[in-house]
Amino acid sequence: MFRDKNKEEKRFDEKLVQNYQHGLIYILVDRKTGVNYMHVWNTQGSGLTPLLDENGKVIVDPIDGSE
């Protein structure tokens, strides 16, 4: 019920961070599911969406089984 925040591991890893015009693009990977997300941030706002391949399927990275 109560979690020790000092022992909590990160849920997301940054796979890529790139400057784009007046903002940033992040590619994040969910460490529990392997799903890749694109987070775009600029001075006007931000957005988050899963990354899709050329067939419209969600891009999923293999997960390290040691967790």
pLDDT tens track for 26-53: 999 999 999 999 999 999 999 999 999 9
**pLDDT score, position 15:** 95
**pLDDT score, position 21:** 86
**pLDDT score, position 65:** 67
pTM over 0.85: no
What is the per-residue burial (b if ≥16 Cβ within 10 Å, else e) of 24-57? eebbbbbbeeebbbbbeeeeeeeeeeeeeeeeee
